[in-house]
């Protein structure tokens, strides 16, 4: 096993372990820290694949902005009183079992797919061949043409998250009176 392969598999293990920690941690702060570690691990995996632009975007958008949003929502709760809401709901056990099952299914599927693809010879994607600005320009063109629906869907999802955070803050007696 080469050093690059070892580094990739080590980072993959750390990323999967921290992803599992997101699901299994009962304390929301620890869960958010595991999620941040997962985002950093994914970014490091992109670096090992020489996708530096995507690694940077991963760090800035997800590990930066989305994690700040998540921790702000967590800070809105009185964790001494509301920790029971996170750990003792009606469906907490079912949700955890379903989440672990889904997570395990995704891991098994990813491993099966990577094992199937190991023996195949691939050619470089001509759209992504290039250096610097050419690659970023091609990525932007593909993102805003072929994958515009996914891009817009993520924008709407982030908007819903922000509105949900405001709604939670107001219902918990944040800075606004009812």
Q: 144 and 151 in contact (C-beta within 8 Å)?
A: yes
CATH architecture of 1-88: Up-down Bundle (1.20)
pLDDT at 53: 83
pTM (2 d.p.)? 0.57
Q: Where are the domains of the chain?
A: 1-88, 91-121, 123-178
pLDDT at 88: 62
The percent of residues above 70 in pLDDT, for the chain, comes to: 74
Q: How far is the CA of 18 from the CAs of 6, 22, 40, 42, in angstroms?
A: 18, 6, 10, 11
């Amino acid at each position: 096993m080469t050093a690059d392969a070892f580094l990739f598999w080590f980072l993959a293990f750390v990323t999967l372990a921290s992803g599992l920690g997101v699901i299994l941690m009962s304390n929301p702060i620890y869960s958010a820290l595991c999620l941040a570690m997962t985002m950093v691990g994914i970014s490091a995996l992109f670096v090992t694949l020489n996708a530096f632009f995507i690694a940077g975007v991963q760090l800035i958008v997800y590990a930066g902005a989305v994690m700040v949003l998540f921790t702000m929502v967590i800070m809105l709760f009185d964790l001494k009183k509301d920790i029971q809401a996170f750990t003792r709901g009606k469906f907490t056990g079912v949700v955890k079992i379903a989440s672990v099952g889904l997570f395990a299914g995704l891991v098994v599927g990813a491993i099966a797919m990577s094992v199937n693809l190991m023996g195949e010879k691939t050619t470089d994607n001509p759209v992504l061949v290039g250096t610097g600005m050419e690659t970023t320009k091609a990525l932007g063109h593909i993102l805003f043409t072929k994958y515009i629906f996914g891009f817009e869907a993520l924008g709407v999802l982030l908007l819903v998250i922000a509105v949900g955070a405001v709604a939670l803050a107001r219902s918990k007696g944040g800075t606004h009176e009812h």
